[in-house]
Amino acid sequence: MTDLESYVLQLGQRARRASRVLSGLDGNAKVGILRQMSAALRASKPALLAANAKDIEAARAADLAPALIKRLELNEKKIEAMADGVDQIAGQIDPVGQVIEGFNRPNGLRIQKVRAPLGVVLFFYESRPNVTSDAAALCIKSGNAVILRGGKEAFHSNRVIVEIIQNSLKDEGGGMKDEKSGETKTQTGALSDSALSTQHSALSDAVQFVESTDRALVPRILKLDKYIDLVIPRGGESLIRAVVAESTIPVLKHYTGNCHIYVDAATQGLEEMVKAVCVNAKTSYPGGAVCNAVEHLLFHKDAAARLVVPVCQALAEAGVQVRADERARGFYPSAAAATEADWDEEYLAFIVGVKVVDSLDQAVDHINEHGSHHTDAILTSDLAAAQRFTTQVDSASVMINASTRFADGGEYGLGAEIGISTDKLHARGPMGATDLCTYKWIVTGNGHCR
């Protein structure tokens, strides 16, 4: 066994052991860990900023794009936001142990479907250090151990964040403080000092950081289906497809964010709203390089004469290049001619495709054929049209009279998200702590025999 294989195997084994300890903690204990974690992030600002400065220096030396360096950068305000995100997750209802449904059978058996942790999550993600604390907090809240492999550009920042989290797990793990007495109580009854020490040591492995940046590690860790229950890759399409191709572990994914807004015929009097939503959905994130930015606008033929020009002019004034089909260019000749390939494109840039359609049904067909099942929206005053759209569009998030940019865990009240899934199994859309749970059946009898 090579050193790399041994290292990967130890990551998996430690995570599995830690997941069993973490799953034995009750909600109060996990809240204690998360509160300690948020306090430690706030107290560690100098160390975090020093580590981040190393990453920024290396990024500039590597001539990374300014937008990428901006995403990588930490400051006191961002660190405070990271800590606030952890506090929000701590304050949420614990999903573990929730009874999804329960009923009694005629023979007296009590049947319950109860939420339970997945076990161990392997998380690949891009170079935003705040994602490290978000993912760790969501996994702790849902009772899952997590192995984190962030982008190499944020290596020093991520390593310090994980050290802070691991220290929080050591300090608070294995017990909870009674809110009235302030005394710490263990979750597993009376344990010896050595047993508690072992439990705390194991629990610190509930959040692990992949120290190696060697790409040869990736196919090896993706074969650890004995120890890892789910892989979540969060990044570009090439990363996600590479993970899917190599993994023997189930992968939860979204490849692209080809999002649409359909402007319905019933938009008389909504001209300013339509313009504002379309511009926001494309331009509210710098450069438009985000998966929930709108990429294509579909105008009903009865709305096109009123709205194509003002919407396209507003987008152009915001620096967006408009590519349009022949019918839309009839209203707005300044647009570049769209090709058939455009309709399948996730631009991740200040570019938008514009098309005129004959009906709501045609819009739905276009979205289902060319979209990525991520987020799509309808702008309309017709409730029946909105209902048909939400029923027939096969996407993880469907918006009515709102920007696609709201497809986000924080905006949905999840505190944060570990990713956005366009799969239908096991979770869909922005994923919070509840989406990191599976369920188990608990059957209670009284000596029942079949």
**CA pair distance 155, 212, nearest whole angstrom:** 10
> CATH class for domain 3-252+431-444?
alpha beta
Q: Specify the pLDDT at position 193.
A: 53
Distance CA 88, CA 409 (A): 12
If one counts every other C-beta atom within 10 angstroms of the C-beta of residue 111, the result is 13
Give the largest CA-CA distance in the chain.
79
| Residue at 34: amino acid letter | L
Q: What is the dihedral of CA 439, 440, 443, 444, to 10 degrees?
A: -80
How would you classify the pairing of strands 120-125 and 230-234? parallel
Q: What is the rounded CA–CA span in Å between residue 271 and residue 274?
A: 5
400: which strand partners?
378
Q: Where in the chain is the domain with CATH 3.40.605.10?
A: 3-252+431-444
Delimiting residues of CATH 3.40.309.10 domain(s) in the chain:
259-411
Beta-sheet strand order (sheet of 145-149): 207-209, 145-149, 120-125, 230-234
Phi, psi of 403 (to 5 degrees): -70, 145
* β-strand partners of 125: 234
Tokens at residue 345, please? 């494109």
What angle (nearest 5°) sits at the alpha carbon of residue 132, between those of residues 129 and 134? 115
Give the span between the Cα atoms of 167 and 218, in whole angstroms. 27
Q: How far is C-alpha 21 from the chain's CA centre?
A: 25
| Residue 173, pLDDT score | 57
Per CATH, the number for 259-411 is 3.40.309.10
The neighbouring-strand residues paired with 112 are 102, 442
Cβ-contact 202, 17 below 8 angstroms: yes
Amino acid identity of residue 159, one-letter, is R
Residue 361, helix vs strand vs coil: helix
At 179, list the tokens: 């809110």
pTM: 0.90
Q: Which amino acid is at 434?
A: T
Give the per-residue pLDDT at 403: 98
Sign of the dihedral defined by the CA atoms of residues 363, 364, 370, 376, in that order = positive
Alpha-carbon 122 to chain mean position:
13
Tens place of pLDDT per residue across the chain (450 aa): 569 999 999 999 999 999 999 999 999 999 999 999 999 999 999 999 999 999 999 999 999 888 789 889 999 999 999 999 999 999 999 999 999 999 999 999 999 999 999 999 999 998 889 999 999 999 999 999 999 999 999 999 999 999 999 999 987 654 444 444 444 444 444 445 545 555 666 899 999 999 998 889 999 999 999 999 999 999 888 889 999 999 999 999 888 999 999 999 999 999 999 999 999 999 999 888 899 999 999 999 999 999 999 999 999 999 999 999 999 999 999 999 999 999 999 999 999 999 999 999 999 999 999 999 999 999 999 999 999 999 999 999 999 999 999 999 989 988 889 999 999 888 999 999 999 999 999 999 999 999
Q: Are 374 and 318 in contact (CB under 8 A)?
A: no
The answer to whether the CB of 228 falls within 8 A of the CB of 122 is yes
Nearest to 298 by CA among 281, 316, 319: 281
Q: Which residues contact 359 (CB under 8 A, 6 or more apart)?
A: 300
Q: CB of 145 within 8 A of CB of 16?
A: yes
CA angle (54 as vertex; 51, 58 as ends), nearest 5: 150
- In order of 86, 148, 231, 373, the CA distances from 355 in angstroms are 42, 41, 37, 19
Pairing of strands 351-357, 420-421: unpaired
Contact (CB, 8 A) for 228 and 121: yes
Res 146: pLDDT: 98
Residue 160, phi then psi, degrees to nearest 5:
-70, -40
Q: Are 352 and 298 in contact (CB under 8 A)?
A: no
Q: What is the DSSP letter of 228?
A: -
Which residues make Cβ contacts (< 8 Å) with residue 136, sequence separation at least 6?
37, 146, 148, 161, 162, 165, 207
Contact 374, 397 (CB under 8 A): yes
Total residues belonging to the chain: 450
